[in-house]
Amino acid sequence: MGSGIAQIAATAGCSVKVFDTQEKALKTSEEKLDKVLKRLIEKERIGETEKNLIQGNIQYVQDLDALADADLTIEAIIEDLKIKQGVYKKLEAIQKKEAIIASNTSSLSIASLAASLENPERMIGMHFFNPAPLMPLVEIIPAVQTSQKVTDKIINTVADWKKVGCLAKDTPGFIVNRVARPFYGEALRIYEEGIADVVTIDLALKELGGFRMGPFQLMDFIGNDVNYKVTETVFKEFYYDPRYKPSFTQKRLAEAGYLGRKTGKGFYEYKEGKIDTSKHPELEAGLPDKMLAQQILDRVLVMLINEAADALFLNVATAKDIDLAMTKGVNYPKGLLTWANEKGIAWCVDKMDDLYETFHEDRYRCSPLLRVMKKENQKF
């Protein structure tokens, strides 16, 4: 992630220093950037001069002291609170007081990271999406300690870097990693109930829903270990709210080492990094049962809409930013609140109530915001 973020800043004309404790990581980062930029030249997206400028803006350093004069440090190291805090302490000792320290953390609270600083008001979350140079979204997460000046500065920086900034409250999963949970969780639940197999569920979301990848293909792509861990963290952080409960099916795959594309086997089998279609001929055949596919799409979609509505209800972000985040961070075909308007708020409430009626599980509780909006005939 660090390499991608460095590329973005250098492309915007900033002078960048990439620091890593591992020499090999620095070398890989430098080589990767060279490859990426050569490909951009081939595609005629940049010229040789721009490539040289971008590369000329980046220095690779193995000594933290080289960051002494930085105005902004974006930390994207291992996801470990103590290790991150240790690095901030060292940075604070060498940098000026106004220097901003941002973290790309996916799962730690920004408040807990800021707490280790002498001047916690300089800390903020800047959450990029993978691959960072291609995905426009940056979630901007001020902690309770962050000063307004720092937040404003980062909002401007993100805009200068031609990225789409969305402000998010310092809550588990911020916007995207919270709102997207049902895409995986409800698909897994439908599979576990035996309603449909993996391929049918994927085809329903892809072909009827317009999502770029089905949930199981996406879980395999992200890695079942990584995706499971994110769900588990969000679940724990939300005090075990059943809406975020992880799935045994995915846990077993992770335990078995069936991590997905990277190990050659997950929900699907892979050959040279691609799904081995000879093992999954159903994929080619297309959707067998349109009615079943519609039911699957509706169930996953309404759970996603409910999650987005609840994030708005709890002021995690504005409606505009919740929709932007899902389209610009994870390529959803439409913002979920816009989708809710199209389906009708009454449809959403009735679908959630049907699910609750069937299961009597708190997981299927309808967001109070949707309920009020239905009553008052409102739209997002």
Ligand X SMILES: NC(=O)c1ccc[n+]([C@@H]2O[C@H](COP(=O)([O-])OP(=O)(O)OC[C@H]3O[C@@H](n4cnc5c(N)ncnc54)[C@H](O)[C@@H]3O)[C@@H](O)[C@H]2O)c1
Residues annotated as part of the active site: 106, 127, 139, 177
Binding window for ligand X (CB under 6 A); candidates: 77-85, 237-245, 255-263, 367-375:
77-85
By the rule CB under 6 A, 140 interacts with ligand X: no
Binding window for ligand X (CB under 6 A); candidates: 18-26, 180-188, 263-271, 352-360:
18-26
121: its two tokens = 């008001």
- Which residues ranging from 22 to 41 are in contact with ligand X (CB under 6 A)? 22, 25
Question: How far is it, in rounded angstroms, from Cα 378 to Cα 319?
Answer: 14
Cβ within 8 Å of residue 277, ≥6 positions away? 283, 284
By the rule CB under 6 A, 70 interacts with ligand X: no
By the rule CB under 6 A, 79 interacts with ligand X: yes
Residue closest to 190 by CA, chosen among 179, 201, 206: 201
Could you say which of 83, 144, 159, 256 contacts ligand X (CB under 6 A)? 83
Question: From the CB of 76, what's the least distance to ligand X, in Å?
Answer: 4
Question: From the CB of 177, what's the least distance to ligand X, in Å?
Answer: 9
By the rule CB under 6 A, 77 interacts with ligand X: yes
Residue closest to 76 by CA, chosen among 142, 20, 135: 20
User: Do the beta carbons of residue 66 and residue 17 sit within 8 Å?
Assistant: yes
User: Do the beta carbons of residue 101 and residue 75 sit within 8 Å?
Assistant: yes
User: Do the beta carbons of residue 301 and residue 348 sit within 8 Å?
Assistant: no
By the rule CB under 6 A, 20 interacts with ligand X: yes
Whole-Å CA distances, 190 to 185, 194, 196, 292 = 9, 7, 7, 11
Could you say which of 15, 52, 62, 130 contacts ligand X (CB under 6 A)? 130
By the rule CB under 6 A, 62 interacts with ligand X: no
In the complex, the residues that contact ligand X under the rule CB under 6 A are 1-2, 20-22, 25, 76-79, 83, 87, 104-106, 128, 130
